[in-house]
Amino acid sequence: MSKNNLPLLAFIDSSAPSSMSHSHLMLSLSRCPCAAVHLMFVDGANYQDLLHEMTGQKTVPNVFINKKHIGGCDKTMKAHKDGVLQKLLGEGSEVFDYDLIVIGGGSGGLACSKEAAALGKKVMVLDYVVPTPKGTTWGLGGTCVNVGCIPKKLMHQTALLGTAVEDARKFGWEFSDQGESYIQHGRKYEALHEETALTNRRNTAQLLGLRSPNANIESFSDPPSRNGKIPVNDEEQTNVPHIYAIGDILEGKWELTPVAIQAGKLLARRCDYVNVPTTVFTPMEYGSCGYPEEKAVEIYGQENLEIYHSLFWPLEFTVPGRDNNRCYAKIICNKLDNERVIGFHYLGPNAGEVTQGFGAAMKCGITKDQLDNTIGIHPTCAEIFTTMEVTKSSGGDITQSGC
């Protein structure tokens, strides 16, 4: 196709900022055949004289669509914003096999595709993970289902049950240390003691057949990301306007299944990454929502924050005689906003269950006064958040002598 027949033709000078802005716009319209004439590489002065004579415009870029003069950078950008540019280029007349293509069959990808399908769109999901050397393959569900959240929680529960068996003796349960054997249907069965070690190795999805000069995974990061993550703006848009990324692939975002699911749904409809309730399932569980203390200080300033904290002693720790100052609770409040809770932190039993409820409260803008006026359920661990009085700034004692 010759330049005379191209729908979009622009005369630019790459040293001019307005020309670079226009170039980015042209790249975003890459489905349309286009060409740019760089005046610094040709007889620029002669070209500009001719363009001035034809259009009355002295500046660059100088844009033509279907041989019709559009104008410079500002007019082109306005035409794009108003939708005029797309109409002149004939965009929207193409017929596509799918309305949406989702790369990755994990939690976020499936949530996005299901939501789009529910809205009446035709969706294709691409999912592939290279089998392990032993031939083990993944099913749909991504990291969470195959090697992440689900197996991790099951292994965590296994560890807790091991501790519970030991604690049970102190609650009065009796167990035999001897293996027992019995005969059933002529066969002898014996109880055996086994130890099993499980390993978790995250696989990296390899996208096959998705290579082109203008749209490949590596080009979504400039400069290229060393960890394989993709940077996006606040609307989860990559540097290619019609391609978005959600879930674990994002640079600097939460690698959490519920976040990916919510982001997928909202993207399909058209995420608040601050008030994300999350839990670390270590033997002593940790849950948080909102800002960590350091980030809150950075954003709001130390003088505008009040931080309440306390150690506590769960009732279930008293019988086995565990340390009474191992569990910790903290809330960070914004003094300029009626002591609204902007950070929640909990170290203790059942952190996931506790944090989930407080996460909902924080989405509703709960304040310290509302927490104080909440009737606690006794004896529970979450009750501590209704009775907090000691602030970090006071330097008061936060140790507890009983549940």
For this structure, is 52 an active site residue? Answer: no
The tokens of 386 are what?
């209704």
Per-position b or e across 183-206, b if 16+ CB within 10 A of its CB: eeeeeeeeeeeeeeeeeeeeeebe
Single-letter residue type at 326: R
Mind giving me the DSSP string for 337-396? Answer: GTTEEEEEEEESTTHHHHHHHHHHHHHTT-BHHHHHTSPPPTT-SGGGGGS---BTTTT-
Q: Is residue 59 within 8 Å of residue 47, measured between CB atoms?
A: no
User: What angle do helix axes 107-118 and 257-269 make, rounded to 10 degrees?
Assistant: 30
For the chain, the first-to-last Cα distance in angstroms comes to 80
Omega before residue 223 within 30° of 0, cis: yes
Tokens 């019995």 sit at which residue? 182
Separation CA 228–CA 129 (nearest Å): 15
Residue type, 48: Q
**Upstream peptide bond of 349 is cis (omega within 30 degrees of 0):** no
**What pairs with residue 68 in β-bridges?**
65
Which residues participate in catalysis according to the annotation?
Answer: 378
